[in-house]
Amino acid sequence: MLLLRDHAQNTAVGKLVEEHTRLVRATHAGEADLTAVHAAKLAQALGQAARSSLYRHTVDDTLRTGWPTAGTLDAHEVLDELFPRLPLLGKGELAQYGEEAFTRPLADFLHYYESSGTTGNPVAAPKAVDDLVINTINIGELWAQILRPRDVALILINAPFAPAAYQFEKVLEYIGVMSFRPWVDNITGDYGRVLRLIESLHANVFVGPPSRLLEMIQFAHRNKLPAPRFDRLLLMAEQTGPSFVRHLERLTGGTAYVCSYGSSETGTTAVTCRERNLHLQTQSYLLELHDESGTRPVDGTVARGELVVTTLDLPARPLLRYRTGDRVEIVGEPCPCGVRTPVLRTLGREQDVVTLSGNGVRQNDLEAALWSTELPEHTVFNYMLVVRDRGVVLLVTTDGRPQESWTAVVAERLAPLFPGLAVSVRPVETLPPLASLGQYLGWKLSRVLDLNDERNWSRLPEPINTVVAESLRQLEADPDPAEGAV
């Protein structure tokens, strides 16, 4: 997987691969003593965090003094007494002090990455050798249930500063699957070369965000090219509910998996299995749920809340009780695949709720109205909501030229979601460029244009701000986006 010239480092990596692979397989089988594993790894993480300047800003000095000697404590003292006293680490704090989180010189890392920075300052998230190896094994041991060496995978992730594309490339190497990783310009959106490669290489696996896949399918339709077909879709980086998944499966003929869950900052905290369930990587993380009643450990029983992550295998950049901002649910039932770790479902973020006239609308609600059952005559490829005055306009791309009767059917489906507002549907040739950036912005920022308050969009950082301005320019070119719609 990695070719390292230094003999000692190469030997150490080989030993790490063997040890961690055994731990992952024992954890999957329910045979690992996770209490002992968590206590030992947390003690090490605390010792490493004691060297990080980040925690000098966020943790009281009297609490940090015990971190270097945490390894001398028994498991009960580490997990039940020391750990709950640690303060929660917020996104704002990590963004403010992220460059001080390192425990090693920057030159000791293998690759430099950053988070997207769309909700604040970008957070440094470089990859060290040990981090890369462990994350690759965590993902690869589960993806091996789904993929085979004869597969050919397209990795289509336009995120040069995020680690996902490279990380997934290494996972596919680990399994023995050939992959290719092209680039598509966000503005021109020319997928001609990608479509040619899919055909000539017989690619049967897609790896990437749903918004990118949808844009590629739309490009093929507009240019009268065959739509790409896949056996499996490994989707990531965006909230993808059941209706959205079924929609993508109908368009591509493949079986869709939400392939992983995590972030640039934390690494991959959950990975899909062949049963399409996301399994928490409990060998590498201490995981908690937070809500108004407090913070409690994930113990495998049914529960909901904001996920709080403590990294146990990021020695060069440990995160202690990091609030992800993501709402999740622990299913609490064993998975038919046989892996014995808890199953997680993502529920999105509170800020992804669109509130109009006091009514909250979530992504899954809207997509269920569009895709839970097939529409007559035409299919909606993709969509964007535009809010103006007391009206809601749904811009849609379709596989034909719908008549007014078709737009009336779609508007009727959507109307119950927006009581008191005028709902209209407008088929368009292409969506504003913003719609393809869901992996960077999240659903609300990429799918909802509130023209009643353009300041919300001007605050976005570059280069996304330029894309937003182009989106607004396209819409303003038509003074009445609802004209001709129902």
| 375-402: pLDDT as tens digits | 888 889 999 888 877 788 888 889 888 8
pTM above 0.75, yes or no: yes
Is residue 57 over pLDDT 80? yes
Alpha-carbon distance 146 to 262, whole Å? 19
Q: State residue 484's pLDDT score.
A: 39
Q: State residue 481's pLDDT score.
A: 44
Within 333-447, strands assigned E span: 343-346, 354-356, 359-361, 380-388, 391-398, 422-427
Query: What is the mean predicted confidence (pLDDT) over 278-304?
Result: 97
Q: State residue 473's pLDDT score.
A: 65
Q: State residue 120's pLDDT score.
A: 58
Q: State residue 486's pLDDT score.
A: 37
Q: State residue 477's pLDDT score.
A: 64
Cis peptide before 479 (omega within 30 of 0): no
Cβ atoms of 102 and 123 closer than 8 Å: no
Instruction: Pick 405 or 474 by higher pLDDT.
Output: 405
Q: State residue 108's pLDDT score.
A: 92
Is residue 343 over pLDDT 50? yes
Instruction: Pick 115 or 68 by higher pLDDT.
Output: 68
The DSSP symbol for 78 reads: I
Within 282-428, strands assigned E span: 285-291, 294-297, 303-311, 322-330, 343-346, 354-356, 359-361, 380-388, 391-398, 422-427
Is residue 119 over pLDDT 80? no
Alpha-carbon distance 396 to 407, whole Å? 10
Query: What is the mean predicted confidence (pLDDT) over 5-19?
Result: 93
Mean pLDDT, the chain, rounded, equals 88
Q: State residue 485's pLDDT score.
A: 40
Q: State residue 99's pLDDT score.
A: 82
Query: What are 120-142's pLDDT values in tens digits?
Result: 567 888 999 999 999 999 999 99
Alpha-carbon distance 181 to 198, whole Å? 11
State percent of the chain over pLDDT 70.
86
Range in 146-160, 326-340, 430-444, 462-476 the model is least confident about:
462-476
Query: What are 410-458's pLDDT values in tens digits?
Result: 999 999 988 888 888 888 888 877 777 776 667 766 788 776 766 655 5
Look-up: residue for tokens 């308050």? 453
Is residue 472 over pLDDT 80? no
Which of the four pLDDT bands, split at 50, 70 and 90, describes residue 482? very low
Q: State residue 118's pLDDT score.
A: 56
Q: State residue 202's pLDDT score.
A: 97
Q: State residue 475's pLDDT score.
A: 58
Strand partners, 207: 155, 234
Query: What is the mean predicted confidence (pLDDT) over 220-247?
Result: 92
Within 28-176, strands assigned E span: 152-155
Query: What is the mean predicted confidence (pLDDT) over 183-202?
Result: 87
- Two tokens at 349? 């973020």
Query: What is the mean predicted confidence (pLDDT) over 344-362?
Result: 74
Q: State residue 318's pLDDT score.
A: 96
Query: What is the mean predicted confidence (pLDDT) over 364-383?
Result: 86
Alpha-carbon distance 314 to 131, whole Å? 6
Range in 278-282, 323-327, 426-430 the model is least confident about:
426-430
Helices (H), 99-224: 129-143, 164-175, 192-201, 210-222
Alpha-carbon distance 352 to 239, whole Å? 10
Which of the four pLDDT bands, split at 50, 70 and 90, describes residue 98? confident
Alpha-carbon distance 12 to 449, whole Å? 51
Element (H, E) at 108: none
- Most confident range (mean pLDDT) of 97-101, 180-184, 316-320, 375-379 is 316-320
